[in-house]
Structure 1
Amino acid sequence: MKQFDALGEDRLQALADREEIRDVLAMYFRADDSGDWDLLRECYHEDATDEHDGAYSGSIDGLIEWCKEWVPKQFRSWLHLGAQSLIDLHGDTADVESYAVALHKTHPDARGKVFDVVAAGRFYDRFERRNGAWKIAHRKLVIDFIPDGIAASDSNPLDFDQKSA
């Protein structure tokens, strides 16, 4: 078996650490969207805290209760899409910034209308490796963008055939 030098081993460990962190990020979105609260809890260390852009701040057990009770009152369905993440490793800790988009569908209002609510933002996480497992120690969500106004139609507003004529 080929022996790796110290630099090679460090690089391989960093790649493995980043991949484990990405797995936790993906698991978080899956758990949140499916309502698998045990899986969501697995993403965090027991003493972790979460700040959800002013809507919630506190322990993970409190976050789960908030997700179970408040969110379904506001929305009838939701879907989270995780995007790119910047992972800055420091031994057994990592600073992670991840972009995300959340799609929500409201309950019908008094007129029977249902609305789509889109929120885009970033998660700022401090991950820690404890007992060999990377998990979130602190998470802060910052919402950067919630569009308002009339939604665009599904059709392309540009007529490319006319422009080229």
Structure 2
Amino acid sequence: MSDFEPFPEQVADRLAIRELVDAYARLADRRDAQGQAALFTDDAHVAVYDGEPDTTEPAQTLTGRSELVAAFGSLRNYDKTTHLNGQSTLTVDGDRATGETYCLAHHLWTEEGQRTLMVMSIRYHDTFVRRGGRWFFAERRLITDWVDRRPSPA
């Protein structure tokens, strides 16, 4: 049993933020790059890491919704994707929050007649802000812990 008990006023915020995180994954799997980008502030910053951010430079950085739309559109290169969000931690402080969410991202495609499955173990380190009564991503650090790529029989 955990000692953690959120303040009652934080319960709604926690639920809204989790719904935001899950909406990101759902929209990614539906290839809705515009919808994904709309979950971020206009000046949002996203950094993609191939390991811990404290020990490596980001492999990619994106700022603003237009850059996000272009990057999110790259998921169209796959036949199918499934993003499964797992455990998460969250700290809410007024109109700001920070959190970490684990995700297993499955990517399926066919190349030269070979169907391939890639599974990525991802951790998202997020900063959220509430604007106009709604929560948005202000910053997202995507950290890839490991990747498994293999043939996938039909």
**Normalised TM-score (structure 1):** 0.75
Q: Give the aligned partner of residue 66 of structure 1.
A: 71
What is the deviation of 1:147? 2.4
Task: Compute the RMSD of aligned alpha carbons.
Answer: 2.1
Q: 1:122 corresponds to which letter in structure 2?
A: R
Residue 139 of structure 2 aligns to a residue whose secondary structure is: strand
What is the deviation of 1:100? 0.3
Contact 2:33 2:70 in 1 (8 A): no
Identify the structure with the greater strand proportion. Answer: 2
Alpha-carbon distance in 1 for matches of 2:104, 2:150: 18
Instruction: Name the CA shift for 1:129/1:114 in 2 (closer, same or farther; >3 Å).
Output: same
Alpha-carbon distance in 2 for matches of 1:115, 1:23: 30
Contact 2:128 2:138 in 1 (8 A): yes
Alignment of 1:4-153 (within 5 A): 11-53=7-49, 54=58, 56-59=60-63, 60-68=65-73, 70-73=74-77, 75-109=78-112, 112-148=113-149
Count of aligned residue pairs for this structure pair:
139
Q: Which has the larger radius of gyration?
A: 1
RCO higher in structure (CA 8 A, sep ≥6):
2
What is the deviation of 1:38? 3.2
Identify the structure with the greater helix proportion. Answer: 1
**Structure 1 stretches of 4+ moved >6 Å:** none
- Unaligned runs of at least 5 residues, structure 2: 1-5, 50-57
